[in-house]
Amino acid sequence: MTITKSYNKHTNTWYVYDTTYVFDETKNKKVQKRKCIGKYDPVTDSIIETGSRG
């Protein structure tokens, strides 16, 4: 479980994700599973949770 940040240049917004890697038997390799936690505010250096998903 890793916290990662991703920048959306179309909306000019940073998003924070909970990232885990799961082994996929059909592809025979690791695949990335991400769950959105919320938005990242670079000014205050804090995470703003979004709704029931975050």
| pLDDT single digits (tens) 15-48 | 999 999 999 999 999 999 999 999 999 999 999 9
Angle at the Cα of 34 from the Cα atoms of 32 and 36, rounded to 5 degrees? 165
Rounded distance, CA 32 to CA 29, Å? 10
Rounded distance, CA 7 to CA 21, Å? 20
Rounded distance, CA 23 to CA 6, Å? 23
pLDDT top residue among 53 and 11: 11
